[in-house]
Amino acid sequence: MRLRILIARRAEHPDWLVSPQLDGWLTGAIGLRKGVSQEVDEFSRTAKRALIRAAWADVRALEQRMQHGSELLATGRDFRVGGWLVPTNLLWAIENEIVTTRGINAHLPPVDEWPAALLDLLPPDAPRNNWRRTLLRVLARMLYPSTLDCTASESC
């Protein structure tokens, strides 16, 4: 600020020359040209608001899913004592790093022998030939956010 004042005083003196390039800077410009106020965006303001609402809905869904996982985790115990087919025990094993999801997969019985508690965790549209992988993904996502949680919602 003081430098600008000194250069402005010099520019006011009739015998001293100041570069014409400094005129804009002396009148308050800070090195950038004046921009335009017209928005250049592929989304309208209505669409932007919808995106923001969808993002917040996704955040709330993530928080609810992880809260539900935490509540289930609190009732879990060692699966070697409580069993491999109890979701809370599987969550406990994952959280305590006792076994990986691959280890759980190796110990799960055939899908036909799964109890209702495990089947209830699966989304209704999950293909039957992918139930094992889907179950492990659901269990992990109850405890940890996934990369999909960090992307825009498909509902937009």
Q: Is residue 39 part of a domain?
A: no
Same-domain status, 128 and 72 = yes
Q: Which structural domain, as residue segments, surrounds residue 125?
A: 56-150
Q: How many CA within 13 A on the CB side of residue 113? A: 6
Same-domain status, 81 and 123 = yes
pLDDT score at 37:
67
Same-domain status, 129 and 89 = yes
Rounded Cα gap, residues 53 and 29, in angstroms: 38
Rounded Cα gap, residues 82 and 153, in angstroms: 37
Render the burial of 9-18: b for 16+ CB within 10 Å, e for the rest: eeeeeeeeee
Rounded Cα gap, residues 106 and 15, in angstroms: 90
Same-domain status, 93 and 20 = no
Specify the number of domains making up the chain. 2
Same-domain status, 142 and 105 = yes
Q: Is residue 134 part of a domain?
A: yes
Question: pTM of this prediction?
Answer: 0.63
Q: Which residue has the tokens 């289930």?
A: 72
| Cα Rg of the chain, angstroms | 30
Q: Is residue 49 part of a domain?
A: no
Residue 127: Cβ-neighbour burial (10 angstroms; 0-12, 13-18, 19+): exposed
Same-domain status, 64 and 136 = yes
Same-domain status, 70 and 128 = yes
pLDDT score at 156:
41
The two three-digit tokens of residue 33, written as one number: 């040209």
Name which of 15, 34, 16, 12 is nearest 24 in CA terms: 34
pLDDT score at 155:
47
**Tens-digit pLDDT string for the chain (156 aa):** 677 777 788 788 888 777 777 766 677 666 556 666 666 677 888 988 998 898 899 999 999 999 999 999 999 888 788 888 889 999 998 898 888 888 888 888 898 889 999 999 999 999 888 899 999 999 999 999 988 887 765 544
Q: Is residue 156 part of a domain?
A: no
Q: Is residue 29 part of a domain?
A: yes
